[in-house]
Each structure stands twice: as structure tokens, then as C-alpha cells.
Amino acid sequence: MLFRKIQDVIECKLSRDTNRILLVNGARQVGKTFIIRHVGKKLFENFIEINLLEDSLDKGLFSKVRNIEDFYFQLSMIAGNRMRSRDNTLVFLDEIQAYPHLLTLLKFLNQDKRFTYIASGSLLGVTLAKTTSIPIGSIEIVQMYPLCFEEFLRANGVGESAVDSIRSCFSERKSLDEQTHAKIHDLFKKFLLVGGLPDAVNAYLETKNISEVREIQSQIHDYYATDASKYDVDNKLKIRRIYDMVISSLENKGYVRKFD
């Protein structure tokens, strides 16, 4: 499993009784669902996961929910006897941006305190802008990103103490010894090629084959393009065309270099 610094943040916030529901925001494919699922199953006896995007495309059980009684009824249809108490039950609302009205409902679920909740989503800035009543004071938004270089180092076997030592040298403007510098510099070049998306990093760790990494990157690129264009049906072709032009535009301006 990849080391992610945000895991400690999530564990800390779920382990103490707070007055706000944690909302993890981030782009697709950065590992939100995986890390929340991992922490949730670790900390809670009963872990209930609902993918609201899948629900919106399938049964639409939560599409008409407008109050907590309706929510609990639909939740019971899925969770059954796993609905216990706030101390031992975590309800994970994944892809909550699919149902903006549930963002408003979080305030009342939080006040009811029947269970512990956590939510995740992408494009939450857009969704919140369309939400009639933003539950300010009831949610705490934490941003999740792809793997940073430190997390990439840890994934490649560089230990925590070594990372701390490198950070200390950087802060104090001290040089690393030649061998360590050469190793870290080599890993940095690999990081520029692989990037920080978990699927690409895992492919590199498993195969050390950059061709397979690029195949995954290409698939995610196409997924992002499709995802971006679906939010405006009337202009989806224009959105796709603009998205495809971004990389070539950056290359022409010298901001992006290709590694062959």
C-alpha cells in the first residue's frame, strides 16, 4: 500500500468527536476512495460505503432524499444491520458531488449525530457554487492531491528517517553526500516521468516499465477529458477540444518537455 500523508489527517479527525463532517476533495484518480476505505475499515467495526455517482446512474435511491428520515430509510436498504451507533459506524458518502442536495443535508445529519460520516468528491467547488444552502460550520474540507515527491520516495523504499534527514539538509542549506544526492536525483527524474497518480506509481513499482506507465497515464488522460466534457452537454465537443489543446499549448511555450 502506498504511503499517503493525508492518512494521518483522516485518522486524527475521525478518531475524535468533532462538530464537523470531514469532506475530502480532490481530482479523480488521486486515491480518495482507497485511503478513506482503508482508514474507515481500520477504525470502525461497521463501515458503510455508498458511491453516489453510481447510484445516480443506476437506481437513484438518494436522488429524492430531502430529509434525514428519507436518508436513513435509503441507507437501511443498503446497510441493513450494519447501522449501529456513532462510535462504531462510519458512513462514507463517495462522489457526493453527484447529489448537491446531500451537501445541504450534511448539516442535519451532523446535528442528528446518529452515525459518524465522511464524504469525498471531485469538482466540489463547482458543486458548492450550485448548492442553495452551503452547510458552513458543519463540514471541514480537506484537499487531497496526487503523490508528492516525498510520498514517491517512500513508495520507492526510502525510509522515514532518510526523508527527515533530506528535509533537514534542505532546510539548513546543507549538501547531501554524493551517493545520496545521485540516488535522490535519479528518483526525482523518475518522479517527473511517472507523476503522482497512484495507478501510475503502482505500475512503475510493479514493472519498472515506463511504457506501461505511459499507457495508464494515457487512459487517465482520456478519462479526464471525457469527465470534463460531460458537465456541459451543449459544449462538450468544445470542452474536449480545449482540453486536448492544453498540453500542446504548454509544449509550444516551453513549459512542458517530453521525455523519450
What span, in angstroms and rounded, lies between the C-alpha atoms of 82 and 88? 9
> What is the residue-averaged pLDDT of the chain?
90
Kindly report, as residue ranges, where domains of CATH 3.40.50.300 are found in the chain: 6-143
Chain-centre distance for alpha carbon 242 = 24
List, for residues 126-183, the tens digit of each pLDDT value.
566 566 666 778 889 999 999 999 999 999 999 999 999 999 999 999 999 999 999 9
Beta strands in the chain (DSSP E): 21-25, 46-51, 89-94, 116-121, 139-143
- Give mean pLDDT, residues 74-87: 93
Q: What's the CATH code, domain 6-143?
A: 3.40.50.300
Q: Quick count: other Cβ atoms within 10 Å of Cβ 118?
A: 22
Q: How many CA atoms lie within 13 A of 30 on its CB side?
A: 19
Exposure of 116 by Cβ count < 10 A (0-12 exposed, 13-18 middle, 19+ buried)?
buried
Q: What is the pLDDT of residue 259?
A: 47
Beta bridge pairs of residue 22: 118, 140
Closest CA to 92 of 44, 140, 56, 134: 44
Q: What is the pLDDT of residue 260?
A: 45
List, for residues 173-193, the tens digit of each pLDDT value.
999 999 999 999 999 999 999
What span, in angstroms and rounded, lies between the C-alpha atoms of 255 and 245? 14
Residue 256 has pLDDT above 90, yes or no: no
List, for residues 19-60, the tens digit of each pLDDT value.
899 999 999 899 999 999 999 999 999 999 999 999 999 989
Give this prediction's pTM: 0.87
Identify whether the C-beta of residue 120 lies closer than 8 Å to the C-beta of residue 32.
Answer: yes
58 vs 253, residue with greater confidence? 58
